[in-house]
Chain A
């Protein structure tokens, strides 16, 4: 049975529940994208229903289908205008909201009179909607705002008794005055808002904080006065309020740099409790906040709380990866061991992303705390035993990035390299392995033979970067151990110059060949210079 048949049934006039069901079906059809324009006249009739739920559903339908033909909507106009004067404030508010959402410029002209009346309505509920509707009107009819003097009216309504009306005025003014930089906050308004803070909802508090970042205090005393009032919000249970308060504090203390450390110290317990609270999305957002705002200036702040940054088993992958990126930045020297234990455990995780990021994190710690370089290398090398391709590949990439000059450390790596050869398949891993073979090849017995193996399998290697690294490694090793590598290098150059299809690789091979032809000793010195 089609929807228009359902809507035309006579029972719908008397049976409220059946009527609600029918209209819900229409709404489902709309959300699926079906064209319901033929049903609009019938839906509009339900706007006049006595049942509030049916009225609301009909208004919802109008909002969704507001870009349809005018004649149908004209029918709605009368009902809505009548409802704007209804004794029930819920109905007045609903009608005004719907009227201002119609998006048709002609129709919206009719909404201006009820809007002006509603701004002074007795009921706070209606005033809240009226203020937000000013912003709605501004979107469609920007010029009307000046005609009606709404900006001044809204500034006046900042003194309204209802806290939500006040906050809505701030929102509306911010939208209307957006091109001028938002609401203008002078001393009177700032203090009025500060006094109102206790009455506001937490969302209102966050809005007022945002607005206060536009205010410039006149003296240092004033700065401290305001900070005293706002201090308790740094410990609020809603992280949005804490963030907004932090931003205000940063703004207020722009000219007083020594206060910044104090502010960081005061906000730290809140942030740590959010991390422990168990809401993964909020935790992720707080980590991003810490990363952007606090770590660049005060990396050691969280050193004692590093355990709050460790991963938990059920967390989603994105959260674990984020934590792994931050742990190296906050690990202080005495906490390195704890951090390494945790990272080693995660580097064996079955999720590839988590394992890779854990290994990269170990590398970052090795770079940041040079005294622990030896420990880090031992731990990394132990991962070769697992014989897992992505783990070994990540370890090689990290080892490539480290600056290792002690032979003792290097020897740990060499044994592992030989194990890797069977396992590594991915381009980044191969590049890293070739680089290590070239760089430290003079200490590794089997280096020339490993490179020889790979050059024979050149046909299987497809990646340009891999081939280039292989070539560089062979040339470097030739410079260090000429006798063993001459043959391999010769064959490799010949193959690359004649049969290689990739231009970059061919060019590089030719370059090396000509260089070697001209002056072997010079080439050796060139390749070995760091």
Chain B
């Protein structure tokens, strides 16, 4: 049983402090803030003790969600799961979570905390069931304009692309919004790629963890049928079947109807208000995944005894896909004083981060099928010879839209309401992000 739940900003400001049992002294939040101030924050484990108070926390978008308990009978895993759920609820009701939105929605969050944890025990924690008991309206914190954006597509036709923050609206609608019902559904297929590539280019490890998320703004609770790729197979095979979508295992949300899944790969979903994780899946095995990026590299000593690094990053996808915010973080020898660079095309930049002993090469955008090349010169600080073995590994960060490594596709999405069915406004996004995308540059012994 939790004694209190506190939301703290990363700067150490207490945003919300809800007491449940009044058995913890008022300075408990001070104890937490003192501990996580400064750059040792990443070293503090999610559960620690100060005096006789147990602190538990999760960190999301720069905000700490903290819980305290007294006594040791509480399961730590339970408290962390409760905090994760509190975060998701606040997100469902407020849209986006950051320090500003929490400050603007303080009253709503106090109401939520009061309803979900009575005397420190978890009660109802699902957004749709809580809605009748929460009276406050969410306050939206303004960002840029919310117009739909027109993007040039094929053959000169323009496609409507919802700006990313259209999906950031709170799912639990306020009273005013309910009058104008937009029948919209957002489906995100998000895949996290793990890849480790050796210095000679061979793949030593590759896995993909994927999630199909649905955010429904449909009124009522109609049944939705979502059809996935027909050639989807779920086996633990080692070889990839030709053109098939193959995954090791997958699990579904308990409320999903799987009657038609075996034959047609169709899921029956009854979305309640709020975000829903429809399906999670995992693909392991190096043969099954087409990696989106390949890096070729060459390290040599230049005539002036500095290290020259030639890098070529190629995006191996179809031209319709593109990656943005591509960053390659390369570890460099400790004696590196400065770097000079030469890029193949504009839109790139590189900086040397001395404290972390690494170089960050940033490319704003790479189109599918194209590559970015550059040449860096690593210049030593004190004329000492740089050790070429200290170069690498290189970790890659990117946001890939319109492509997922597994090839999973949503074939159709239809709403069935009583006698008739209709097509709602469907926004389907395919996003790939790296979990751990690593290239080893120097050969190890």
Contacts and interface: CB of A to CB of B under 8 A. Distances in A.
Contact of B121 (A171, A243, A348): A171
Given A20-B107, A129-B118, A273-B251, 19 more contacts: A28-B106, A31-B17, A53-B111, A53-B135, A57-B107, A63-B19, A125-B133, A164-B124, A203-B78, A238-B81, A240-B78, A240-B81, A240-B82, A243-B78, A280-B46, A312-B194, A318-B43, A321-B43, A379-B445
Contacts, number: 152
Given A285-B46, A345-B393, A60 B110 contact: yes
Interface in A262-307: 273, 276-282, 284-286, 288-289, 307
A350 B76 contact: no
A312 B437 CA distance: 9
A425 B49 CA distance: 33
Nearest 5 A/B pairs, CB to CB: A203-B122, A312-B436, A240-B78, A281-B46, A316-B42
A243 B80 CA distance: 13
Nearest to A288: B76
A132 B119 contact: yes
Given A56-B114, A313-B395, A239 B123 contact: no
A97 interface: yes
B124 A317 contact: no
B25 interface: no
Contacts of B77: 239-240, 243, 282, 285-286, 289
Contact of A313 (B26, B46, B387, B436): B436
B136 interface: yes
Interface string A226-253: 0000000001011110011000000000
A277 B444 CA distance: 30
B81 A132 contact: no
Interface residues of B, number: 67
Contacts of A311: 436
A243 B75 contact: yes
B45 A128 contact: no
B43 A353 contact: yes
Interface of A is mostly: helix
Nearest to A52: B135
B410 interface: no
Interface string A3-20: 000000000000000001
Contact of B358 (A276, A350, A379): A350
27 contacts: A31-B14, A53-B107, A53-B111, A53-B135, A56-B110, A56-B111, A63-B19, A101-B22, A128-B118, A128-B123, A132-B118, A201-B122, A237-B251, A240-B82, A243-B78, A276-B209, A277-B280, A281-B83, A282-B80, A307-B205, A317-B42, A321-B43, A341-B204, A350-B331, A350-B356, A350-B358, A378-B445
Most A CB within 10 A of own CB, among B80, B124, B389: B80
A471 interface: no
Nearest to A134: B119
B334 A388 contact: yes
Nearest to B79: A240
B256 to A, nearest CB: 12
B44 interface: yes
B403 interface: no
Interface of A: 20, 24, 27-28, 31, 33, 52-53, 56-57, 60, 63-64, 66, 90, 97, 101, 103, 125, 128-129, 132, 135-136, 139, 164, 168, 171, 201, 203, 206, 235, 237-240, 243-244, 273, 276-282, 284-286, 288-289, 307, 310-314, 316-318, 321-322, 341, 344-345, 348, 350, 353, 378-379, 382, 385-386, 388
B22 A385 contact: no
Interface of B: 1, 14, 17, 19, 21-22, 26, 42-47, 57-58, 75-78, 80-84, 106-107, 110-111, 114, 118-119, 121-126, 133, 135-136, 192, 194, 204-205, 207, 209, 251, 253-254, 280, 282, 331, 334, 356-358, 387, 389-390, 393, 395, 435-436, 438, 440, 444-445
Contacts of B192: 278
A329 B1 CA distance: 33
Nearest to A178: B73
Contacts of B357: 350
Contacts of B136: 53
A206 B114 CA distance: 21
B75 A168 contact: no
A171 B122 CA distance: 10
Contact of A33 (B26, B81, B334): B26
A240 B75 contact: yes
A52 B136 CA distance: 9
B201 to A, nearest CB: 16
A244 B75 CA distance: 9
A434 to B, nearest CB: 26
B438 A313 contact: yes
A274 to B, nearest CB: 10
A317 B45 CA distance: 9
Contacts of A20: 107
Contacts of A279: 84
A110 to B, nearest CB: 19
A168 B84 contact: no
Nearest to A89: B133
Contacts of A286: 77
Contacts of B81: 238-240, 282
Contacts of A348: 331, 390
B445 A382 contact: yes
A135 B119 CA distance: 8
A273 B75 CA distance: 20
A164 B125 CA distance: 11
Given A24-B106, A240-B75, A378-B445, A56 B121 contact: no
Contact of A90 (B84, B124, B133): B133
